[in-house]
Amino acid sequence: MNPIYWSCGCLLISGIAVGIIVLTKKRGQSSPNAQSNNTFKAEAVSEFKTAASVFVGLYEPLHMIKEGRLKHSQPVFADWGERIANIDNAPSLSEYWNNVCAGSGNWSENDAAKKASEILSFASVAGVSRSTQTEVSVSRDTFKYYMSKDGGRLEPGVIAKVELPYWAISNGETVLEKGIITITKESEE
């Protein structure tokens, strides 16, 4: 057998073996760097969950940026950053924000929408959610989540249209931003 072919064959087999080992390691276990990154993100999420009420008034504008309905995003991101900077004992959250939102004053609308989506996904992991209701039957608990657009009193059983959904944390247990409703139909009773 030609020694050159034999050497090439050995190199090829060695390369395949190394590739298999590397792939097996990647699938089977995380690198220490990935583990520390996951720990860092878990700490940032925990810090955010504790401070979620600090961002009242900014969830819906961030959602509007994500959907492309709010064009001037820089003040919203600046406000988020300012509020994060004023939270005590949240170093991981602060670092997360600095990594994700560096240069927000120079973003295009598309970049701002992507970042808004990323931040809302992060908030979702912490338990923050936006209601998906489009209409509600008014009950005693309705005003925990909504306020009336016209300020009128809504009687139980009245069907109301959701003009603006509410934002809550922990499966709706704590309302962060109330939504807005308007009367659509009187009850049939």
Same domain, 70 and 139: no
Report whether 47 contacts 93 (CB < 8 A).
yes
pLDDT recorded at residue 82? 95
Gap between the terminal Cα atoms of the chain: 96
Confidence of residue 36 (pLDDT cuts 50, 70, 90): low
148 is in which domain, residue-wise?
131-185
Nearest to 104 by CA among 135, 126, 73: 73
Same domain, 81 and 157: no
Same domain, 87 and 164: no
Element (H, E) at 159: strand 159-164
Write the single-letter amino acid at 60: E
Q: Report how far apart, in Å, the C-alpha atoms of 97 and of each of 8, 117, 157, 172, 173 are.
A: 50, 14, 44, 25, 26
pLDDT recorded at residue 95? 94
Total domains present in the chain: 2
Asked if residue 29 belongs to a domain, the reply is no
Same domain, 90 and 140: no
Same domain, 101 and 145: no
pLDDT at 17 over 80: no
Report whether 42 contacts 94 (CB < 8 A).
no
Asked if residue 80 belongs to a domain, the reply is yes
pLDDT in tens, 71-116: 899 999 999 999 999 999 999 999 999 998 888 888 999 999 999 9
pLDDT at 2 over 70: no
Confidence of residue 19 (pLDDT cuts 50, 70, 90): very low
Domain boundary among 79, 106, 128: 128
Judged by DSSP in three states, 140 sits in coil
